Chain A
Amino acid sequence: MSDRRHAPATPGAAPGHPAKPGPAPPTGVNRIGLSRADYDGSKTTLCPGCGHNAITGGIIQAAFDAGLEPHRVAKLSGIGCSSKTPAYFLGRSHGFNAVHGRMPSIATGVHLANRELLLIGVSGDGDTASIGLGQFCHLVRRNVPVVYIVENNGVYGLTKGQFSATADVGSTMKGGQVNDLQPIDLCAIAIELGCGFVARSFSGDQKQLRPLLQAAFAHRGTAVLDVISPCVTFADHEGSTKSYAAVKEHDAPLHDIEFVPYYEDIHVDYEPGTTREVEMPDGSHIVLKKLAADFDPTSREAAFGAIHEAAGEGKLVTGLLYVNEKKVAFSQELALPERALASLTLDQVRPRREVLDRIMEQLRTGKGLAAASGGG
C-alpha cells in the first residue's frame, strides 16, 4: 500500500497531556488545576513494603507533575500482583485488568479504537516474560503507543514465590532452591525488536523513576520501563538477586535524569559536555547528566553493550537505555485518522447506497471482481 504512512505524525501535545499548559499553578495543584490526590486510586492491598507500591506512588506523582488529564488516560494490566496496581492509581481514569499475559492485545485494541488516549500498562515479570512474552514482543514490534511498565521481582508473588523467567542464574527461592536457567532480559528484547524507548529502573529510586515515567508519557510509540521491584514476602532474603539489599548494592545507574516539560526552558547551568539532551516530539526534553562514563542512549549497540557488561559483572544497569523518537507509530502505519475510530458517526463508516449498488452489479456480471480465492 503506497499510502501507508500518509497520515502525518501527530503534532503538539502527546495523548493525555493538556493541549495548552495553564499558567504556573498555585501550590498544591498542577497546571490543569488538579491536586495530587486527584491522581490517587483505591487503597493498595499488596504487602506492606512491596516495591510495587513505590512504583504506584511514582506513577501518581509523575502523572500529577505532567498534568495528565485523567479522562484521557486508560490504565491496563494483566494478572499478578503488579497487575492489581492500576486500581491503586488514577482513580479518575478508566481501567482494564485483562487476562494473564494478554494486556498487550487489549492495549492494541484500545489504541485502535481511540488513539487519543494515553495508555499506561502495568505488568509483571511472569505476566510479560513468561505467559505474555509473545504478545509483549508483538506490541513492541508494532510500536503501539503504550507506556509499558514491568514491575519485575523475579518471582510469582500471587502464587507464592515460584521463579519467573527473569530470575537470575544462581538466585535462590525462599526455600533454598537455586535457579539454573538463563533469565530473559526484557530490555534487551525490546531494543532488539525496535522499541523506541527502553529504560530500566528501581522502585527504590524515585529520583530516577519519575523523570523516566514523564518522558515515557511524552513518547509516541511503545515505551518499555523494566522496573526492578523487590518482593518483600518471597524474594527479599539473602540469596535473592532482586532483594532490596542486592539491588541497592548492585545498582549501576548510567546517568542522572531530569525531565523538562515543553513549557519550561532547559536549564543552561550544566557544565558543557557533562549532559546529553534528548528532545521529545512535544518539545519536552530528557536531560541526562553523565556519571562515570559517557553513555549514548541513541545507540542500540551501546545499550546492548551496557546490558551485557552489567550482566557479566552481576550488576544492575539502570537509566534510559535506548531512545529513538523517529520510529513510525502504529497509527501512522495504519493511516488512522486523527480522531478516534470509536467516535466516527454512521455516515462516516457506512458507504453510500451507490457503493452497494455498484458492488451488486459487479457480483451480478462477474466484472471487476477480484480473482477467486484459493485455499489450504
Chain B
Amino acid sequence: MKTLVNDFSIHVATVNGSGSQTANSVLLRAIFQMGIPVSGKNLFPSNIAGLPTWFTIRVSRDGYVARRKRNDILVVMNPETAAEDIAAMPPGSMIIVNEQIKVPEIAPDRIVYRVPMPKLMEPITTDVRLRRLVVNMIYVGVLAEKLGIHEDEIERALDAQLGKKPKALALNHAAVRAGWEFARTSLPKNDRFTLERMNANQGKILIEGNTAAALGAMFGGVTVVTWYPITPSSSLVESLIGYLGQHRRDPETGAASYAVVQAEDEIAAIGMVLGAGWAGARAMTSTSGPGISLMAEFAGYGYYAEIPAVIWDIQRIGPSTGLPTRTSQADVAFVHGLSHGDTRHPVLLPSSVRDCYDFGMRAFDLAERLQTPVFVLSDLDLGMNLWTSDPFPYPDQPWDRGKVLGDDELAKLQKFERYRDVDADGIPWRTLPGTKDPKGTYFTRGSGHDEAARYTESPEIYQRVMERLARKMETAKSLVPAPVVTEDTGAKIGLIAYGSTHWAMVEARDTLRAAGLPSGYLLLKALPFNDDLVRFARRYDRLYVVEQNRDGQMADLIRLALGDLAPRVRSVRHFDGMPVDAVAISAPILELEGIPNPAAVAEGAIR
C-alpha cells in the first residue's frame, strides 16, 4: 500500500471529562510545530462527564482544514463506542486499541496496535485518579513514535500546556515516554502513515474563533459586555473577561475601563446593550440560537429606535434546544429579519478566525455608523475549534463613532431633530444623554414617532420613517464587508458560500477542477448583499449556494435579491450538525452537473 505522508486524519474516541483534551492539544500542537498544516475538531456531547466524545486531527500537506469524513487512524479509548468506531474504519487504516477495552474482531487489512495502557501506567503513578487522566498521554507517545513526531516537539507542546505545573508535566511526560518506548520495542511498524516536517506554519498562531472575536472586541474598544451562559457562545465572553481583566484595568487603581454583566437571561442581556449603546458605550452581547429567539422584541426596538448594538450569534443546531454542541448555519434568515414588523438587520458572516477578529472590531464601527443592531453570525465549528492563522495585525484605523452631536456642534445649530435625514443617506444624527444643550434632548420610543422623535400615529409619517429606514439599509450595503470573489477561467458554474463552510469550499473546488469543472466562487461576508452578487450571478449559468442548514436559507435570500436570475440558483445543503466536508459539496454538484466522479463518491460512501 502507498505510504501516506502528511495527508490523513486521526480520530481519537474517548469519554468526555476523561482528560483527553490535554493529550489531543499536545498532539495537535506538536504537529503544528512541525510546520505541517493541521486542524482539530472537537466533537463533544452536551454533557460534562461520561459521554462519548471524539477529537479529529486532520493533517493535510495541501493545507485543507475542513473536516474529512474518512478517518485513517483511530484511537480506541471508549468501550461504549469501540465497535462502531472500528466498523467505520476503511481497509488500510490504523487502529490503536487500549488493551483494556474489549473490541470485536478486526479485519486483517486494518493495522491494529494493541497497547497495554493500564500496565504501562502502573510504574508512573499509584494514584488511580491521575492514572485515568494521564493514560491518554500513552496514545500520544504511541502515535508520536509510529508517525514520526520528534520527541522534542512533544516536549515543547507539553511544556506549553503544563509548564506551570512541574509535577503534572513530569507525570505526563513519563506517560508519553512509556507509550513511545512500548511502540518502539513491541509494535513493529506496518502501517503506511508518516509525518514529515514542512514549513507551512512559520509565524502562525492557533486560535479558536471565539477567542479571536474576543480579541477583536477588546481592541475595538468595547466597554460594556453582557451575556447569559450558553453553548457554544460562552467561551467568547469568558475569553473576553480574561483578556479585559489583564489588559483593561488601571494597574494603579484597579478601575476597569469596561463592565461585564452576566444577565438574568438574553432579554436582559440585549436590553443592557441597548441601554448602554443609547448612552454612548460600545456595547455587545454574545449568544446562540435560543438566546437570539429571546432577543427578538428588543432587536426590533433597536432597529426602529435606531440604537447601536453588537450581537454575536455562535450558531448551533436548532430548532428549539436542538443539538447544543453541534454546528449549524440555520439562524441566518431569522437573524436578518429578527423581530416583528418590517425589520432588517445588517449581518456579518465571518468565515475565518481572522474575520472573527476583524469583525469583532468592525461590528462596532458599523453599529455606531448605522445606529442599528449589527449581528455577527459565527458558528460552533468556527467558534470552538482551533484554527491556524497568520497573526492578527494591530488595527491601523481609529474607531468610527458615527454621527453624534455634542454641545459644541449643537451650539451652532438652529434646531436638532433626532430622526431627520439631513445627509440623505438614511442615517440621522443623535445626541447622548448628558448633553447639556436643551436642543439636543429627545425621547426615545419604540412606538410611532416623527422626525423630532415625538409620538405620532400619522399614516404619512409612519410610512416616511419606515422608508427612510429602508434607505439606511441601502447605505449599509456599501459599508458592510464586501464579498470575496475568485474565479477559474472557463468556469460555467458559480458557487456561493459563507461562514465556516468556506474551508470545505476551497477543497471542493479543487475536486471539481480536477474533475474538469472549473468554478467561480463568491464568499459572502455580510448581509445586506451589495451589487457584487448580481454581477457575479450574471456571469454564470448555474449558481450553487452551499450552506449548513436544511432549508437553503441563504439560497432563498439570494433568489429574492436576484429577481430574474433567481432560476439559476441551486441549493446544496449539509445539516447533520457535523462540520461540512468537501465531498458533501463536490459530490452533489458533480451529480447535478452530470459528471461522474468515482473518487468523490468513494470517499462519500464511507459515511
**CB-contact partner of B281 in A102, A106, A342, under 8 A:** A342
Q: Are A375 and B232 in contact (CB under 8 A)?
A: yes
A165 within 8 A of B: no
Evaluate contact between A113 and B444: CB separation under 8 angstroms.
no
Contact B253–A6 (Cβ < 8 Å): yes
The smallest C-beta distance from B10 to any residue of chain A, in angstroms, reads 18
A134 to B220, CA, bound (A): 32
Identify which of B16, B203, B253, B445 contacts A364 (C-beta below 8 A): B203
A-side contacts of B224, CB under 8 Å: 109, 112-113, 341
Q: Out of B44, B298, B384, B435, which one reaches A99, CB within 8 Å?
A: B298
Interface status of B118 (Cβ within 8 A of chain A): no
Instruction: Decide if B257 touches A348 in the complex (CB within 8 Å).
Output: yes
Q: Which of B65-73, B76-84, B260-268, B579-587 contacts A (4 or more CB under 8 A)?
A: B260-268
* Contact, CB under 8 Å: A102 / B324: no
Q: Which of chain A's residues 63-95 have a Cβ closer than 8 Å to chain B? A: 70-72, 74-75, 86-87, 91-95
Q: Does B447 count as interface, using CB distance less than 8 angstroms?
A: yes
Residues of A within 8 A of B287 (CB): none
Chain A window 94-112, contacts with chain B (Cβ cutoff 8 Å), 1 for yes, 0 for no: 1111110010111111111
Chain A residues positioned under 8 Å from B207 (CB to CB): 363
Which B residues from 515 to 563 make CB contacts under 8 A with A? none
25 contacts between A and B (CB under 8 A): A6-B254, A6-B255, A71-B438, A94-B441, A102-B267, A106-B271, A108-B271, A112-B259, A138-B264, A334-B260, A334-B261, A335-B256, A336-B255, A341-B224, A342-B432, A349-B223, A349-B258, A350-B399, A353-B394, A355-B247, A357-B394, A359-B215, A360-B205, A376-B231, A376-B325
Interface size class of B (residues with CB under 8 A): 35 or more
In angstroms, Cα B253 to Cα A293, docked, is 48
Binds B, one of A224-232, A262-270, A366-374: A366-374
Whether A356 contacts B268 in the complex (CB less than 8 A), given A97-B447, A337-B257, A375-B232, comes out as no
Kindly list chain B residues whose C-beta atoms are within 8 Å of the C-beta of A351: 218-219, 247-248
Q: Which of A199-234 contact B (CB under 8 A)?
A: none
**Interfacial chain A residues near B242, Cβ < 8 Å:** 370
Contact A107 B275 (CB under 8 A): yes
- Any A CB within 8 A of the CB of B125: no
Residue A311 at the B interface, CB < 8 A? no
**Does B392 lie at the interface of the complex (its beta carbon under 8 Å from any beta carbon of A)?**
yes
Give the distance to chain B from A329, nearest Cβ to Cβ, in Å.
13
Measured between beta carbons, the chain A residues less than 8 angstroms from B248 are 349, 351
Do the beta carbons of B256 and A109 come within 8 Å of each other?
A: no
A366: chain B residues at CB < 8 Å are 25, 29, 157, 160-161, 206
Give Cα distance in the complex from A11 to B584, angstroms.
65
Residue A252 is within 8 A (CB to CB) of chain B in the complex? no
Number of chain A residues close to chain B: CB under 8 A: 72
B395–A110 touching, CB < 8 Å: no
In the bound complex, do residue B434 and residue A106 qualify as a contact, i.e. CB atoms below 8 Å apart? no
Interface check A135, CB cutoff 8 A: yes
> Do B444 and A363 have beta carbons less than 8 Å apart?
no
- Binary flags per residue of B407-419, CB closer than 8 Å to A gives 1, else 0: 0000000000000
A117 within 8 A of B: yes
Beyond A112-B224, A113-B224, whether A7 also contacts B255 by CB under 8 A is yes
In Å, the complex CA distance between A105 and B271 comes to 5
Q: Is B196 an interface residue (CB 8 A)?
A: no
Q: Cβ of B256: which chain A residues have Cβ within 8 Å of it? A: 334-337
Residues of B close to A375: CB separation below 8 A: 42, 44, 46, 231-232, 235, 325, 384
CB pair A376–B399 under 8 Å, yes or no, is no
- Residues 285-314 (chain B) with a chain A CB within 8 angstroms: 297-298, 301
* Contact in complex: A114, B433 (CB < 8 Å): yes
Give the distance in Å from the alpha carbon of A334 to the alpha carbon of B224 in the complex: 11
Q: Does B422 contact A (CB under 8 A)?
A: no
Give a binary string over A149-179; 1 marks a CB under 8 Å from any B CB, 0 the rest.
Answer: 0000000000000000000000000000000
Q: In the assembled complex, how far is the CB of residue B603 from the closest CB belonging to chain A, in whole angstroms?
A: 28
Q: In the complex, what's the smallest C-beta–C-beta distance from B283 to chain A, in angstroms? A: 7
B446–A98 touching, CB < 8 Å: yes
**A344 close to chain B: CB less than 8 A:** yes
Residue in A closest to B282 when the chains form the complex, CB atoms: A349
B257 & A349 in contact (Cβ 8 Å cutoff): yes
Whole-angstrom CA separation of A359 from B243 in the bound complex: 9
How far does the alpha carbon of A117 sit from the alpha carbon of B435 in the complex, in Å? 11
Q: What's the minimum C-beta distance from A109 to chain B, rounded to whole angstroms? A: 2
